[in-house]
């Protein structure tokens, strides 16, 4: 599994990790098996959140990583309504209990909320000092919110910004991705295949993806993931709960698209005009 430096942290992460959003909808045994296979294949960047299934997904992740904790870069998130100074600490402790671990490698504010960022950051700092998290970052932050955060702390303390990013949704390329890149912050693309509709041959760009997949002896999904992960500071965390899907996602890390393929995808899936940062 190809790896690269993860923002200002001192770790390198796989270019393809594993997301767990909506994993509570799958059979528990399938979800656990998928997580464990992902770890075996080197997709050890494992992302979850207290929001997912109201804690059920964290519990499943905890079962999957039992006996494997030291092999995983474990990420969870605090919901904005919990993100007061005391609330963030309490939320983290609940997540740790559900995950069956004593620390998170990364803790994110899930999206901007109404509580002062200063309080959330203070809680993150306390959690770092207490050894309960090793780093922190944010999710779904646009440039205005990133700049507000940078007035409170050095950007070197912000590990990443996790955002919706895929071939059909490229809004982050206008301002968010350049801002993060300019400040040495990693960008993590969640839902990097969207709903899956744009990879279908029946979609406007689906046939292009299919043709490229045939050329590179890959799948359209693999091509779409490789296009995102080609940048040195972009990481992808697709959700997968079948073993075949996990294997296909892992194989995307080894796929290197040439300049002609990237140019074709850029023309087929234009980034469009700048809009507000979308979220799911």
What does the alpha-carbon distance between residue 62 and residue 230 come to, in Å, rounded to a whole number?
31
52 catalytic residue (yes or no): yes
SS3 148: helix
Tell me the two tokens of residue 250.
């892992």
Which of 52, 73, 165, 190 does the annotation list as catalytic?
A: 52
User: Is the C-alpha dihedral spanning 138, 33, 17, 102 positive or negative?
Assistant: positive
Of the chain, the end-to-end C-alpha distance in Å amounts to 28
Pick the closest to residue 95 from 56, 126, 46 (CA basis): 56
Residue 107 phi/psi, 5° resolution? -130, 130
What does the alpha-carbon distance between residue 77 and residue 62 come to, in Å, rounded to a whole number?
15
218, 251 Cβ separation under 8 angstroms: yes
- Residues identified as active-site: 52
């Amino acid at each position: 599994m190809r790896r690269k430096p993860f923002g200002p942290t001192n770790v390198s992460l796989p270019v393809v990790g594993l997301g767990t959003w909506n994993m509570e909808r799958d059979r528990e045994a399938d979800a656990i098996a998928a997580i464990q296979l992902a770890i075996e294949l080197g997709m050890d960047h494992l992302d979850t959140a207290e929001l997912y299934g109201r804690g059920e997904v964290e519990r499943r992740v905890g079962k999957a990583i039992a006996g494997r904790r030291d092999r995983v870069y474990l990420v969870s998130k605090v919901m904005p309504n919990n993100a007061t100074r005391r609330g963030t600490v309490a939320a983290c402790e609940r997540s740790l209990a559900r995950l069956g671990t004593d620390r998170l490698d990364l803790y994110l504010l899930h999206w901007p909320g109404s509580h002062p960022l200063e309080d959330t950051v203070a809680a993150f700092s306390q959690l770092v000092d207490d050894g309960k998290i090793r780093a922190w970052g944010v999710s779904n932050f646009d440039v205005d919110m990133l700049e507000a955060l940078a007035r409170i702390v050095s950007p070197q303390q912000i590990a990443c910004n996790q955002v919706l990013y895929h071939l059909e949704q490229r809004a982050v390329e206008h301002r968010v991705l350049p801002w993060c890149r300019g400040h040495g912050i990693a960008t993590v693309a969640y839902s990097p295949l969207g709903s899956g509709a744009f990879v279908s041959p029946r979609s406007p760009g689906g046939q292009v993806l299919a043709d490229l997949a045939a050329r590179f002896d890959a799948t359209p999904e693999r091509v779409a993931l490789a296009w995102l992960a080609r940048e040195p500071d972009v990481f992808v965390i697709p959700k997968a709960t079948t073993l075949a899907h996990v294997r296909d996602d892992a194989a995307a890390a080894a796929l290197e698209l040439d300049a002609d393929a990237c140019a074709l995808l850029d023309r087929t899936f234009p980034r469009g005009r700048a809009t507000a940062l979308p979220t799911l």
